[in-house]
Structure 1
Amino acid sequence: MNRPIGIGGAILLSLVLSACGGDESSSASDKQQGQQKPPTQAQVLDVKARDIGLSKTYPGMIRSDQEVTVMGRVEGILEARHYREGSLVEKGDKLFTIEPAPYEATVEQRQADVQSAQAELYRAQRDAERYARLYKQNSVSQQQRDQSQADLRTAQASVAQAKAALDSAQINLSYTEVNAPVSGMISLSEVNVGNLVRPPQQLATITPLNPIEVRFSLPADDAFALRRQRQRGAKEADAAVLTAPSTGSATREPLKLSGELDFLGSRVDENTSTVQAEATFRNQDGLFLPGQFVRVTLPNVKRYGVFAVPAVAVTEGLKGPQVYIVNADGKAEARFVSLGEVAGDWQIITQGLDSGDRVVVSGIGSISPGDKIDPQPFSGSAEDPQDKAGENPSQKADAKGGEGAEGSQDKAQTDGGQNGAN
């Protein structure tokens, strides 16, 4: 009975050892397969200097440089107001009437003075002609002739003086009718009808609403870039877009106007390191008003000769923002970089990359340092440029050496971004 049991135990022991041996060979096989992991396919961008467009946004305030204060220029009772307060008026429209009667009487008096002076001039001219004939006949002395000539000149001066007084009176009479010097929206009346107007007294304010101007300040670097573009004849550098954020809602985009940059300051403010600028916009509907705070976007601010990679290629490492490059052995290698500005889906790199480096731009989440890379040509598509500023942790404002994503708004043009990608 002991023998069969011994045979059964031997068989069982053999099975156990066989199983253990099978596990060891399976583990060794898996380890061998891990060492022979196939290269990871990923798109790779060859780094080289390129020109890239940025969209820069700045806060500003609407102005109306042609705003006019309507003043009373003659004294008198305000007889009438001819406009509706807060309405749009056209240049030349009648606004106020100041009692004209005293000034009409003055004009009539000055007209009479002119007629009297002209009559005296007629008499002096006839006397001068008669004395000139008598002097030739030796009937009067030279002194008498000279006196007649002097009386003639005095009469001529009196006529000129009377006409000047008449012109002044007519001007004062015209001031009794106050007309709009410019077109625009008129304010409330500062003087009620029936009150005495004493010059110079403010009667109302007219604010032209088309066009409108927006003054804002931009960093010195942006001003330098715009000047370079202007020197190169890039007219698109003057394009500007006005946006009023407060006019947007959940179902409607904020109101916008298209215009152009018409002034770029000639000096840098020492306190803020900014340059003053002004853009002009057509405000056909009169919806935007002076004093309103808005945002001005310059969509075509270029940076020349910079290194840029798709923003998806930048990740946050232990020491800061990093990218993966393919080294000479064909393996992924982490490279720490300093970030510049964001241009839509493109990230400008200020330090850490050299011309000719090969940066991995796809499948970043599945790649680790040391992985073998099967490089694929970059498709040249970092998607359409969109405002993704701030979504990537590597684009934070305190990222190593970088300016962060602040300042990149709306759409950005990536001129040369695709053409330079191989």
Structure 2
Amino acid sequence: MNIKTITYVLSTTLLLSCTSQNKSNNSPAVSIPVTVTKAQTASSGSFSTTGKVQASQHTKLSTRVMGNIQRIYVAVGDVVKKGQVLLQIDATDLQAKVGQIDAQISRAQSHYTNVKRDYERFQKLYSQKSASQKELDNISTQYQIAIDQLNTAKQQKREILAQFKYTTLRAPYAGTVVSKFVNSGDIAHPGTPLLSIENTDRFEVTTNIPEQYIAFVKKGTTVSIAINALNQQLTGTVEKLSSSSNHNGGQYAATIALPKTNTSLYSGMNATVSFEALDRQENQKSIWIQTAALVRQGQLTGIYTLSQSNTAILRWIRIGKSSHTKTEVLSGLNTEEQYITNSQGKLYNGVPVRIQN
């Protein structure tokens, strides 16, 4: 085979190959069924936090005296009235102190009576010039000391008697006993919790607001609260809002007041608090899409949109806040613009698609 023959064969082979390839490239691709939706707008201050339900009044009761717990009159779960006796501490030690101070008062009273008599006698002698100024000054000093000693003893008795009220623990308000930290026979120490009660007529939710959202929330803001265990939706109002996050891990503590409800709420229940707050700029809205629709390639984030010829177009976008379900789009997508949320085949730039209902 000569060189001309070889050249002809190669040329023919390349031509056939190109023709075959062009036929393959020009063959129509099968359209992929896809589901689409429109980008939605919402206030960029919208966000959710987790929280805990608690009674609006919750008190740990303690005492100012030390003594053996004589008797506990209530159990956990008991409903109590305001002023009801909950616990009694043995007051024997205080009674002994009262006896001691009474004896001290008696001695001080006797000493005062004697000194007062001498003081009055020296006053009369001094007026008759039968006693010197120095003698009168000395007895006056003794008389003042006797007065002070008697007053001090009486004050000590008043203080001891005041301690007796702390030996009887009473309910500060109507509520329910929720915790008991001691038993009969234990020793009560000043400041150590003995019982705790809650006012179960009113509840609230405590939550923490991240720093990036705190500018959207104010006292009086209305929020939606989902009680997870009960599958109930309630409406509450921001009642308290901390102005510092220094001691809360960079988050701001908030208390949400709940209205009275027939829902069986219990302290400690988990709640999801949804804030629909206004943005810093009035009427400013953000574009939100489904997080599952995002396409990530390295440092780039995109989403598939539709062309006028019903092909998939990969659009690179810049995103903001994101959760498991929703993501904020800062740029690259317009309001109400359609994007692909699901497909029954592999998507790529320019592939024909068919919208499913």
Equivalent-residue separation in structure 1 for 2:106 and 2:79 (angstroms): 44
In structure 2, the residue matched to 1:99 is 90
Equivalent-residue separation in structure 2 for 1:73 and 1:208 (angstroms): 23
Contact 1:121 1:152 survives alignment (8 Å):
yes
In structure 1, the residue matched to 2:268 is 291
Q: Are the structure 2 counterparts of residues 71 and 306 from structure 1 closer, same or farther at C-alpha, using a change threshold of 3 Å?
A: closer
Contact 2:289 2:329 survives alignment (8 Å):
no
**Residue ranges of structure 1 left out of the alignment (5+ in a row):** 1-44, 249-253, 327-332, 366-390, 395-422
- Offset at residue 149 of structure 1 (A): 0.4
Contact 2:175 2:197 survives alignment (8 Å):
yes
In structure 2, the residue matched to 1:280 is 256
SS at match of 1:174: helix
- 1:79-114 deviation line (CA, Å, top 9, x unaligned): 332334322335533111223355345435534543
- Offset at residue 131 of structure 1 (A): 1.0
In structure 1, the residue matched to 2:331 is 351
* Letter aligned with residue 243 of structure 1: A
SS at match of 2:208: strand
- Offset at residue 288 of structure 1 (A): 3.6
Trace 1:4-43 onto structure 2 (pairs within 5 A): none
In structure 2, the residue matched to 1:222 is 213
Trace 1:121-132 onto structure 2 (pairs within 5 A): 121-132=112-123
More strand by share: 2
2:111 corresponds to which of 106, 112, 120: 120
SS at match of 2:135: helix
SS at match of 2:229: helix
**How many residues are paired up?**
295
Equivalent-residue separation in structure 2 for 1:187 and 1:169 (angstroms): 31
SS at match of 1:321: strand
Residues 1:199 and 2:199 aligned together: no
- Offset at residue 302 of structure 1 (A): 2.6
* Letter aligned with residue 278 of structure 1: A
Q: Relative CO higher for 1 or 2, CA cutoff 8 Å, sep ≥ 6?
A: 2
In structure 2, the residue matched to 1:4 is none
Contact 2:60 2:194 survives alignment (8 Å):
yes
* Letter aligned with residue 147 of structure 2: Q
- Offset at residue 188 of structure 1 (A): 4.8
SS at match of 1:160: helix
Q: Are the structure 2 counterparts of residues 197 and 53 from structure 1 closer, same or farther at C-alpha, using a change threshold of 3 Å?
A: same
- Offset at residue 281 of structure 1 (A): 2.1
Equivalent-residue separation in structure 1 for 2:246 and 2:146 (angstroms): 64
Trace 1:227-238 onto structure 2 (pairs within 5 A): 238=221
- 1:143-174 deviation line (CA, Å, top 9, x unaligned): 32122101211111111221122023213322
In structure 2, the residue matched to 1:258 is 236
Q: Report % sequence identity.
A: 19
Pick which of 258-267 and 208-217 moved more: 208-217
Trace 1:5-404 onto structure 2 (pairs within 5 A): 52=43, 54-62=45-53, 67-111=58-102, 113-181=104-172, 184-193=175-184, 195-200=185-190, 202-209=193-200, 212=203, 214-226=205-217, 238-248=221-231, 254=232, 256=234, 258-267=236-245, 275-282=251-258, 284=260, 287-302=264-279, 304=281, 306=284, 308=286, 320-321=302-303, 336=315, 337-338=317-318, 340=320, 349-352=329-332, 392=341
SS at match of 1:192: coil
Q: Are the structure 2 counterparts of residues 67 and 244 from structure 1 closer, same or farther at C-alpha, using a change threshold of 3 Å?
A: same
Equivalent-residue separation in structure 2 for 1:222 and 1:208 (angstroms): 32
Q: Are the structure 2 counterparts of residues 287 and 334 from structure 1 closer, same or farther at C-alpha, using a change threshold of 3 Å?
A: same
In structure 2, the residue matched to 1:9 is none
- 1:180-211 deviation line (CA, Å, top 9, x unaligned): 34654324544433x25253454322345565
In structure 2, the residue matched to 1:401 is none
Q: Are the structure 2 counterparts of residues 296 and 310 from structure 1 closer, same or farther at C-alpha, using a change threshold of 3 Å?
A: closer
Contact 1:335 1:352 survives alignment (8 Å):
no
- 1:26-48 deviation line (CA, Å, top 9, x unaligned): xxxxxxxxxxxxxxxxxxx9xxx
- Offset at residue 291 of structure 1 (A): 3.3
* Letter aligned with residue 351 of structure 1: S
SS at match of 1:205: strand
Equivalent-residue separation in structure 2 for 1:325 and 1:160 (angstroms): 97
- Offset at residue 317 of structure 1 (A): 9.8
Contact 1:68 1:182 survives alignment (8 Å):
no
In structure 1, the residue matched to 2:347 is none
**Residue ranges of structure 2 left out of the alignment (5+ in a row):** 1-38, 344-357
The CA RMSD measured in Å over matched residues stands at 4.7
TM-score (norm 1): 0.54
